[in-house]
Structure 1
Amino acid sequence: MRLSLPLFWVIPLLSGCVADESLSAYGGAGQSWVLKELDQATYGEMATLNLTTPGEISGQAPCNSYRAQQTAPYPWFEIKALATTRKACPALEQERTYLNALQSMSEAEIAGDVLILRNDSGQEMIFTR
Structure 2
Amino acid sequence: MPARLALLLPALALGYCGQDETATAYGAAGQVWQAQSIDAAAFAVGAELRFPEPGRIAGQGPCNSFTARLDAPYPWFEIADLVATRAACPELEAEGAFFAALLAMEQIEVSGEVLILRNEAGHEMLFRAAD
TM-score range (shorter-chain normalised) is 0.7 to 0.9
How far off its partner does 1:71 sit?
2.4
**Counterpart of 1:38 in structure 2: which amino acid?**
I
Aligned counterpart, 2:20: 20
How far off its partner does 1:114 sit?
0.1
Count of residue pairs the alignment pairs up: 118
What pairs with 1:81-100 in structure 2 (closer than 5 Å)? 81-100=81-100
- Structure 2 residues without counterparts, runs of 5 or longer: 1-13
TM superposition score normalised by structure 1: 0.86
Paired with 1:119 and 1:125, the residues of 2 have a C-alpha distance of 9
CA deviation vs aligned residue, 1:69-99 (integer Å, no higher than 9, x gap): 0020000000000000000111100000000
Paired with 2:48 and 2:22, the residues of 1 have a C-alpha distance of 18
Aligned counterpart, 1:6: none
Paired with 1:79 and 1:33, the residues of 2 have a C-alpha distance of 16
Aligned counterpart, 2:31: 31
TM superposition score normalised by structure 2: 0.85
Q: Confirm or deny: 8 A CA contact 1:30 1:53 kept in the other structure.
A: no
CA deviation vs aligned residue, 1:39-69 (integer Å, no higher than 9, x gap): 0011021000001111000000000000000
Paired with 1:76 and 1:62, the residues of 2 have a C-alpha distance of 25
Paired with 2:42 and 2:32, the residues of 1 have a C-alpha distance of 19
Aligned counterpart, 1:11: none
Paired with 2:30 and 2:54, the residues of 1 have a C-alpha distance of 9
How far off its partner does 1:20 sit?
0.3
SS in 1 for 2:90: coil
How far off its partner does 1:32 sit?
1.0
Q: Comparing both structures, which one devotes a greater share of its residues to helix?
A: 2
Aligned counterpart, 2:72: 72
- Structure 1 residues without counterparts, runs of 5 or longer: 1-13
